[in-house]
Every structure is written in structure tokens, then in C-alpha cells.
Structure 1
Amino acid sequence: MSTGPNRTPEALVNHPILDQIQQLRAELAPGDAPPFVVTALADGTAPRRLLAELAAQQHRIIRSDRRSLLALATRCADRPVGAWFATLAEGESAALRTLPALAAACGPSRTAPQARPPLPGCQAYPGYLAWLALNGRPDATAAALVANFAAWGSYCATIAQALRRHYGFADEACAFFDFFARPATELEQQAADALGPARLDEPALAAAREYGSMLQSYEHLFWDTLGVLDA
């Protein structure tokens, strides 16, 4: 993903919208206990078929989210936040290119990842993001998305390490998780730059809390749905 202008740590702390985003992230933090699936992968007890299903569901999610982000970019094409949404869409394209290697490492399958049926619990998140693309406030949607990146990134970092340690996956097969495991700090800065310089007003902040809470709940549902497969 593209990088924003360099800033000193003091400038980042004093950025009004960045402060709001970080506060929102703290409010939405899922707690210390990771999802069951992440824990099972971390200790090497999850079967490879679960990883294969994860790759298949992510193939659908990434394609849907990319379209939703491009729709958001179009809705606010005359504002800097439009370019930020477009940058996220480019990231989804890059992530999509890493999924075949992950699927191949999970073992032979008669069904290609893109042909596997959708699991409703896994596809609720992209369904809600598609709703936001049409109905949500773009500024609040941007704040909600970036506030949720940290938890997803931490799970991906854990899984990437586990795949190397317990499953013998090569770097190419771990690239999907490596991509999202990057710290969210840079994206938070870019979002703040795109939304700034004024702070989000109260209606926008309230909407961001609502959107962020829904996105977090649907992400939990994604992991819970995969966890049922491993039960």
C-alpha cells in the first residue's frame, strides 16, 4: 500500500482525527482472548482443511470488499478520503493474488477456492461492508474500518507465525497473512490525513462507533463459523 507523508511521533499524537481513531480502536478492542480458530492454529491443532476453508471464504470476501471500497471511492471521488478507499481496494487486489499459494499449501482439493460454497457466517462481514458502501457515511465508514484493522492484523500475524512453525508453510503460502499482519499505524495516519484536518463531528463519530461495532461483530462471526468446522 502507498505510504503517506512522514510525520514525527509528536505530530501523530497531536493529530485531532488520529486521536479519535485511536480512541475508537480502544473502545472496539476485542479483549485479550483471540478467537478459538486463531488459538488452534497458533498451537498447531487446527486441521489443514480449516485453512483451506478460510482461504476459500476469503477469496469471496476479498473480491466483494474490493468492489465495496471502489464504490466508496467513487462516492467521494472529489475528496481525499476517496483516494484512501481506492488505496484500500488496491490492497485487496494484492491480497487476492496471494490466496492461490495458501490454498495450494493446504493440500489437493477437488474444488477450487472460488468454487466452494459461501458460508453465511463468514460472508456477513462483506455483506455489511457492501451495505456501508451504499448507505454509510464515508467519513464514519473510514474511521470504523481503520479502527478494526488492528485486531485483524494481530490475528494474521499469529497465524503467519504458526503456519511456519507448525505446518511447514513456505513464505509464499504465508503471504496472505503476512500482508495483513503489517501494523495498522500507517493506515491510521493515512486515514487521519484523508479525513482531516478538523475532528469528526458528533454525528459522524456516533456513526463510526455503530459501524465499527457491527464490523467487529461480523468479524467475530467469521471466526466462530470456522470454529464450528473444527469442533
Structure 2
Amino acid sequence: MRAELEPGDATPALVAAVAAGRAPLGALAELAARQQRIITSDRRSLLLLATRCANRPLGSWFATLAEGESAALRTLPALAAACGTILDRTADHPPLPDHQSPSDQPPLPRHPPLPGCQAYPAYLAWLALNGLPAAVAAALVANFAAWGGYCAAIAEGLRRHHGFDDAACAFFDFFAQPATALEQQAAAALAPAALGSAELAAAREYGTLLQAYERLFWETLAALPTG
């Protein structure tokens, strides 16, 4: 089933441009800003999935993924700084005190949300509430290799063409690591209850949509004016 759900070989245009040194830093700044919103949302979705199956091995697997999202989120400020931008405040920041004057309020977001970039995390949030957890896990595993390959290509391009150091590339290095251990953990977590026909059908549906929304993410970024 994994082979059936895996994305095709076509590399997103922006990934290819970064790897070849043709992408401007503005595009990379947008990528960092969009990932901040996505990672923040995905982490919560994964924690909800972990809660939904807390008494099963799959719950620990989702929790492990959420911990990884937290680690990745901590690497984004260095990437943004290397791209010449500052990340926006997010809902994870505590609210401002009631007595603070309007002039002290944070500025409007430098990178307001874009529908094409928010489709993936919005759908994962829907899956966290409504999806079959085992089918969600299968759909996520199918995309590990492709996402990791994109991140590896971007990290190499940033070092080669822009001189980014390890701190600036840490976000992509993190996801570029082989996901073999996570895949094995998912297989072990799913083993006690093999996927039935309903779960298999759902996994195909979830995987198809997740991959379509990821393609939309890359296409949206590639179409942005970056100056």
C-alpha cells in the first residue's frame, strides 16, 4: 500500500530552484514563515491524534511525531534570520496584558496566511478530529520519503549557493534524516490490529488529499512575488 500512496517522482519547482541556486532569498523567507504556521498547527493535530488513541501503541507514535514538530519549530528562527526576515508572533505566544496600550500591540503579520499554504495543516486538523487514526498514520508514513528528499535537496542548495551554516539549515537537516525508525515504529504500532478494508480505503483517500495539498503548498510559494 505504501508504494501506491507514495508521491510521484516530480520535484516541486521551488525545490528544484533552491537546489540549483535559482531561488531568491525572498522565496526562502516565505518558506520559513509558512512552515512556522504549518508546524504549529500540525503539532497540535498530532497531539490530538495521540490523545484519541492514548491506550494504544499508535498513541505513542503520534506523540513522537509531535515532539519532532516541536524540535523543528525551534530551528525556524535561525532559518528566517539567514533569509533576512523575522517570524511573526503566533498563537503559541502568551496574550498581551490587558493594560497594554494599542500602540504596544504587535504589528500586523509580515506573512499573513495564504489559502494554498494552509490547506495541508487544515486538512490534517480535520483528520485529527474525524479521521481513522490508523489510516492517518499510514497516509503520513507514505509521504515521509518524499518530504525528506525535498528537505535534503533544499539544505544542500542553501549551503552550496547561499553559504548557509548548519544552524540556518537545521530545519531541513532535521527532516532530511532517514525516517526508517519512524516507519518501523508505525509498522509495529499498527501490527496489533491490521488495517481492514475500511482503513485501507481511508488511508488511500487521506494520502491522496494530503499529497495534493502539499503540492498546492509548493505551487503557492512558487507563485509568490519575492522581489
TM range, smaller chain: 0.7 to 0.9
Figure out how many residues of one structure are paired with residues of the other and give that number: 206
Residue 57 of structure 1 pairs with residue 24 of structure 2: no
1:1-231 superposed matches below 5 A = 23-24=1-2, 26-107=3-84, 109=85, 112-114=87-89, 115=109, 116-229=111-224
Q: Secondary structure at the residue paired with 1:159?
A: helix
Match of 2:104 in 1: none
Match of 1:6 in 2: none
Query: How many percent of aligned residue pairs carry the same amino acid?
Result: 73
Once the two structures are TM-superposed, the CA of residue 42 in structure 1 deviates from its matched residue by 0.8
Contact 1:55 1:113 in 2 (8 A): no
Q: What is the letter of the counterpart of residue 202 of structure 2? A: A
Once the two structures are TM-superposed, the CA of residue 198 in structure 1 deviates from its matched residue by 4.4
TM-score (normalised: structure 1): 0.86
Mark the runs of 5 or more structure 2 residues left unpaired by the alignment: 90-108
CA distance in 1, matches of 2:192, 2:129: 25
Q: Secondary structure at the residue paired with 1:77?
A: coil
TM-score (normalised: structure 2): 0.87
Q: Secondary structure at the residue paired with 1:46?
A: coil
Once the two structures are TM-superposed, the CA of residue 230 in structure 1 deviates from its matched residue by 5.5
Q: Secondary structure at the residue paired with 1:30?
A: coil
Once the two structures are TM-superposed, the CA of residue 62 in structure 1 deviates from its matched residue by 0.3
Q: What is the letter of the counterpart of residue 44 of structure 2? A: R
The change in CA–CA distance for 1:186 and 1:230 in structure 2 (over 3 A counts) is farther
* C-alpha RMSD of the superposition: 1.3
Mark the runs of 5 or more structure 1 residues left unpaired by the alignment: 1-22
Q: Secondary structure at the residue paired with 1:100?
A: helix
Q: What is the letter of the counterpart of residue 145 of structure 1? A: L
